[in-house]
Protein backbone atom coordinates (compact mmCIF):
# COMPACT_ATOMS: atom_id res chain seq x y z
CA UNK A 1 0.00 0.00 0.00
CA UNK A 2 1.30 3.44 -0.92
CA UNK A 3 2.72 5.31 2.04
CA UNK A 4 1.50 8.90 2.40
CA UNK A 5 3.88 10.84 4.63
CA UNK A 6 2.54 13.07 7.39
CA UNK A 7 4.48 15.63 9.34
CA UNK A 8 2.44 14.78 12.46
CA UNK A 9 1.59 11.08 12.36
CA UNK A 10 3.63 8.09 11.29
CA UNK A 11 1.78 5.68 9.05
CA UNK A 12 2.37 2.30 7.41
CA UNK A 13 6.06 1.43 6.83
CA UNK A 14 7.20 4.54 8.75
CA UNK A 15 6.07 2.84 11.97
CA UNK A 16 9.26 1.09 13.07
CA UNK A 17 8.48 -0.60 16.38
CA UNK A 18 8.26 -4.34 17.14
CA UNK A 19 4.62 -4.32 18.26
CA UNK A 20 1.64 -1.99 18.60
CA UNK A 21 -1.65 -1.82 20.45
CA UNK A 22 -4.07 -2.06 17.55
CA UNK A 23 -7.49 -0.41 17.27
CA UNK A 24 -9.87 -1.49 14.52
CA UNK A 25 -11.54 0.84 11.99
CA UNK A 26 -14.70 1.04 14.10
CA UNK A 27 -12.85 1.71 17.36
CA UNK A 28 -12.78 -1.92 18.49
CA UNK A 29 -9.80 -2.99 20.60
CA UNK A 30 -7.84 -5.72 18.81
CA UNK A 31 -4.99 -5.82 21.32
CA UNK A 32 -1.20 -5.95 21.17
CA UNK A 33 0.09 -7.44 17.91
CA UNK A 34 3.30 -7.54 15.94
CA UNK A 35 3.65 -4.54 13.63
CA UNK A 36 3.93 -6.92 10.64
CA UNK A 37 0.57 -8.46 11.56
CA UNK A 38 -0.98 -4.99 11.91
CA UNK A 39 0.34 -4.03 8.46
CA UNK A 40 -1.12 -7.23 7.00
CA UNK A 41 -4.55 -6.44 8.48
CA UNK A 42 -4.35 -2.91 7.03
CA UNK A 43 -3.61 -4.31 3.55
CA UNK A 44 -6.44 -6.84 3.82
CA UNK A 45 -8.95 -4.08 4.66
CA UNK A 46 -7.46 -1.65 2.11
CA UNK A 47 -6.74 0.80 4.94
CA UNK A 48 -3.73 2.56 6.46
CA UNK A 49 -2.02 1.76 9.73
CA UNK A 50 -1.81 5.09 11.58
CA UNK A 51 0.13 5.71 14.80
CA UNK A 52 -2.28 7.78 16.93
CA UNK A 53 -0.42 7.65 20.28
CA UNK A 54 3.34 7.45 19.76
CA UNK A 55 4.27 7.91 23.43
CA UNK A 56 2.22 4.96 24.67
CA UNK A 57 3.99 1.69 25.44
CA UNK A 58 3.50 0.03 23.04
CA UNK A 59 2.38 2.78 20.64
CA UNK A 60 -1.32 2.82 19.76
CA UNK A 61 -2.14 2.41 16.07
CA UNK A 62 -5.47 2.47 14.30
CA UNK A 63 -6.70 1.07 11.01
CA UNK A 64 -8.25 3.91 8.99
CA UNK A 65 -8.56 5.61 5.62
CA UNK A 66 -5.80 8.14 6.21
CA UNK A 67 -6.71 10.31 3.21
CA UNK A 68 -10.29 10.67 4.48
CA UNK A 69 -8.98 11.32 7.99
CA UNK A 70 -6.75 14.19 6.78
CA UNK A 71 -9.55 15.66 4.67
CA UNK A 72 -12.02 15.69 7.58
CA UNK A 73 -9.43 17.25 9.90
CA UNK A 74 -8.67 19.94 7.32
CA UNK A 75 -12.39 20.69 7.01
CA UNK A 76 -12.72 21.05 10.78
CA UNK A 77 -9.66 23.32 10.93
CA UNK A 78 -11.05 25.57 8.18
CA UNK A 79 -14.41 25.80 9.93
CA UNK A 80 -12.69 26.68 13.20
CA UNK A 81 -10.62 29.42 11.52
CA UNK A 82 -13.70 30.74 9.77
CA UNK A 83 -15.56 31.02 13.07
CA UNK A 84 -12.59 32.76 14.71
CA UNK A 85 -12.04 35.23 11.87
CA UNK A 86 -15.73 36.06 11.69
CA UNK A 87 -16.01 36.82 15.39
CA UNK A 88 -16.24 40.57 15.89
CA UNK A 89 -16.09 42.40 19.23
CA UNK A 90 -18.71 45.11 19.37
CA UNK A 91 -18.65 47.75 22.11
CA UNK A 92 -21.52 49.29 24.03
CA UNK A 93 -20.94 52.21 26.42
CA UNK A 94 -23.21 53.00 29.37
CA UNK A 95 -23.27 55.50 32.21
CA UNK A 96 -23.75 54.25 35.80
CA UNK A 97 -26.96 56.29 36.21
CA UNK A 98 -28.44 55.51 32.80
CA UNK A 99 -32.20 56.05 32.55
CA UNK A 100 -34.56 53.15 31.90
CA UNK A 101 -35.38 54.04 28.30
CA UNK A 102 -31.73 54.32 27.26
CA UNK A 103 -30.94 51.11 29.11
CA UNK A 104 -33.62 49.18 27.20
CA UNK A 105 -32.39 50.63 23.91
CA UNK A 106 -28.77 49.67 24.54
CA UNK A 107 -29.78 46.25 25.84
CA UNK A 108 -31.61 45.69 22.55
CA UNK A 109 -28.42 46.48 20.64
CA UNK A 110 -26.44 44.06 22.81
CA UNK A 111 -28.97 41.28 22.18
CA UNK A 112 -28.84 41.95 18.43
CA UNK A 113 -25.02 41.74 18.43
CA UNK A 114 -25.03 38.50 20.42
CA UNK A 115 -27.67 36.91 18.21
CA UNK A 116 -25.51 37.83 15.24
CA UNK A 117 -22.70 35.73 16.74
CA UNK A 118 -20.51 38.64 17.88
CA UNK A 119 -18.90 39.30 21.24
CA UNK A 120 -19.83 42.49 23.05
CA UNK A 121 -17.57 44.59 25.28
CA UNK A 122 -19.66 46.54 27.76
CA UNK A 123 -18.00 49.70 29.09
CA UNK A 124 -19.31 51.64 32.08
CA UNK A 125 -17.96 55.22 32.03
CA UNK A 126 -17.57 56.94 35.41
CA UNK A 127 -17.35 60.70 35.79
CA UNK A 128 -16.46 62.87 38.73
CA UNK A 129 -17.70 61.49 42.05
CA UNK A 130 -19.11 58.39 40.32
CA UNK A 131 -15.60 56.92 40.47
CA UNK A 132 -16.05 56.45 44.23
CA UNK A 133 -19.14 54.25 43.58
CA UNK A 134 -17.81 51.30 41.55
CA UNK A 135 -20.70 49.18 42.85
CA UNK A 136 -23.03 51.18 40.59
CA UNK A 137 -21.17 49.95 37.52
CA UNK A 138 -20.85 46.41 38.84
CA UNK A 139 -24.58 46.16 39.59
CA UNK A 140 -25.46 47.56 36.17
CA UNK A 141 -23.23 45.05 34.41
CA UNK A 142 -24.68 42.20 36.46
CA UNK A 143 -28.20 43.32 35.59
CA UNK A 144 -27.36 43.45 31.89
CA UNK A 145 -25.73 40.02 31.97
CA UNK A 146 -28.83 38.58 33.66
CA UNK A 147 -31.14 40.26 31.13
CA UNK A 148 -29.34 38.80 28.09
CA UNK A 149 -28.48 35.40 29.57
CA UNK A 150 -30.50 33.62 26.85
CA UNK A 151 -28.19 35.00 24.16
CA UNK A 152 -24.82 35.56 25.83
CA UNK A 153 -22.57 34.51 28.69
CA UNK A 154 -19.91 36.39 30.60
CA UNK A 155 -16.52 35.70 29.03
CA UNK A 156 -14.63 38.36 31.01
CA UNK A 157 -15.87 39.39 34.44
CA UNK A 158 -16.30 43.08 35.29
CA UNK A 159 -12.92 44.77 35.70
CA UNK A 160 -12.25 48.41 36.50
CA UNK A 161 -9.50 50.24 34.64
CA UNK A 162 -9.15 53.89 35.58
CA UNK A 163 -12.44 55.69 34.99
CA UNK A 164 -14.02 52.78 33.13
CA UNK A 165 -15.30 49.34 34.03
CA UNK A 166 -15.39 46.60 31.39
CA UNK A 167 -17.14 43.28 30.89
CA UNK A 168 -17.13 41.02 27.81
CA UNK A 169 -20.13 38.93 26.78
CA UNK A 170 -19.76 36.02 24.36
CA UNK A 171 -22.62 34.72 22.20
CA UNK A 172 -24.16 31.38 23.09
CA UNK A 173 -24.14 30.40 19.40
CA UNK A 174 -21.38 30.32 16.82
CA UNK A 175 -21.24 32.89 14.06
CA UNK A 176 -21.98 30.22 11.46
CA UNK A 177 -25.08 29.06 13.36
CA UNK A 178 -26.33 32.64 13.66
CA UNK A 179 -25.74 33.21 9.95
CA UNK A 180 -27.61 30.00 9.07
CA UNK A 181 -30.57 31.06 11.19
CA UNK A 182 -30.55 34.56 9.68
CA UNK A 183 -30.54 33.09 6.18
CA UNK A 184 -33.39 30.75 7.11
CA UNK A 185 -35.39 33.66 8.52
CA UNK A 186 -34.71 35.66 5.35
CA UNK A 187 -35.96 32.74 3.25
CA UNK A 188 -39.10 32.50 5.41
CA UNK A 189 -39.78 36.23 4.96
CA UNK A 190 -39.34 35.97 1.20
CA UNK A 191 -41.67 32.97 1.05
CA UNK A 192 -44.24 34.81 3.17
CA UNK A 193 -44.08 37.87 0.88
CA UNK A 194 -44.42 35.64 -2.18
CA UNK A 195 -47.49 33.95 -0.66
CA UNK A 196 -49.03 37.32 0.17
CA UNK A 197 -48.39 38.60 -3.38
CA UNK A 198 -49.91 35.46 -4.87
CA UNK A 199 -52.97 35.78 -2.62
CA UNK A 200 -53.35 39.43 -3.60
CA UNK A 201 -53.19 38.57 -7.31
CA UNK A 202 -55.73 35.79 -6.84
CA UNK A 203 -58.09 38.20 -5.07
CA UNK A 204 -57.71 40.75 -7.86
CA UNK A 205 -58.49 38.06 -10.44
CA UNK A 206 -61.55 36.99 -8.47
CA UNK A 207 -62.85 40.55 -8.30
CA UNK A 208 -62.30 41.04 -12.03
CA UNK A 209 -64.16 37.81 -12.78
CA UNK A 210 -67.03 38.83 -10.50
CA UNK A 211 -67.22 42.22 -12.22
CA UNK A 212 -67.54 40.52 -15.61
CA UNK A 213 -70.56 38.54 -14.41
CA UNK A 214 -72.44 41.65 -13.26
CA UNK A 215 -75.22 42.70 -15.79
CA UNK A 216 -74.35 45.85 -17.64
CA UNK A 217 -76.63 48.87 -17.10
CA UNK A 218 -78.53 50.03 -20.19
CA UNK A 219 -77.41 53.43 -21.40
CA UNK A 220 -80.13 56.05 -21.07
CA UNK A 221 -81.15 57.87 -24.24
CA UNK A 222 -83.04 61.22 -24.67
CA UNK A 223 -86.40 59.41 -24.74
CA UNK A 224 -85.73 57.77 -21.39
CA UNK A 225 -85.73 61.19 -19.71
CA UNK A 226 -89.21 62.25 -21.02
CA UNK A 227 -92.43 62.05 -18.99
CA UNK A 228 -94.40 58.98 -20.24
CA UNK A 229 -97.75 60.82 -19.83
CA UNK A 230 -96.84 63.50 -22.35
CA UNK A 231 -98.46 62.96 -25.74
CA UNK A 232 -96.20 63.63 -28.59
Q: Cα-flanking dihedrals φ and ψ of residue 31, to 5°? A: 115, -170
CATH number of the 12-66 domain: 3.10.20.80
For the stretch 48-87, pLDDT in tens is 999 999 889 999 999 999 999 999 988 888 877 776 655 6
Q: Same CATH fold, 86-175 and 12-66?
A: no
Confidence band of 225 (pLDDT split at 50, 70, 90) = low
What is the spatial distance between Cα 110 and Cα 102, in angstroms, rounded to a whole number? 12
pLDDT per position as a tens digit, 11-24:
999 999 999 999 99
CATH superfamily of 86-175: Translation initiation factor 3 (IF-3), C-terminal domain (3.30.110.10)
* pLDDT band at residue 4 using 50, 70 and 90 as cut-offs: very low
Nearest alpha carbon to residue 163 among 121, 132, 142? 132
Among 3-7, 80-84, 116-120, 150-154, which is the least confidently predicted range?
Answer: 3-7
Mean pLDDT of 97-119: 93
User: In this predicted structure, what is the pLDDT of residue 3?
Assistant: 40
**Is the link from the previous residue into 207 a cis peptide, with omega within 30 of 0?**
no
Domain ranges of the chain: 12-66, 86-175
This prediction's pTM: 0.44
CB atoms within 10 A of CB 11: 21
Count of other CB atoms within 10 angstroms of residue 224: 8
Amino acid sequence: MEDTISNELRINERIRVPEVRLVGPNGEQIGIVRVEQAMQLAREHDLDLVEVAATARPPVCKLMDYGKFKYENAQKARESRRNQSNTVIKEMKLRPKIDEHDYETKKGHVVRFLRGGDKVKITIMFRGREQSRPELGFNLLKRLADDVVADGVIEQNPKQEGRNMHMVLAPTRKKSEARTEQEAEKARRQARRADEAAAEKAEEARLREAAKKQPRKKKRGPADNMDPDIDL
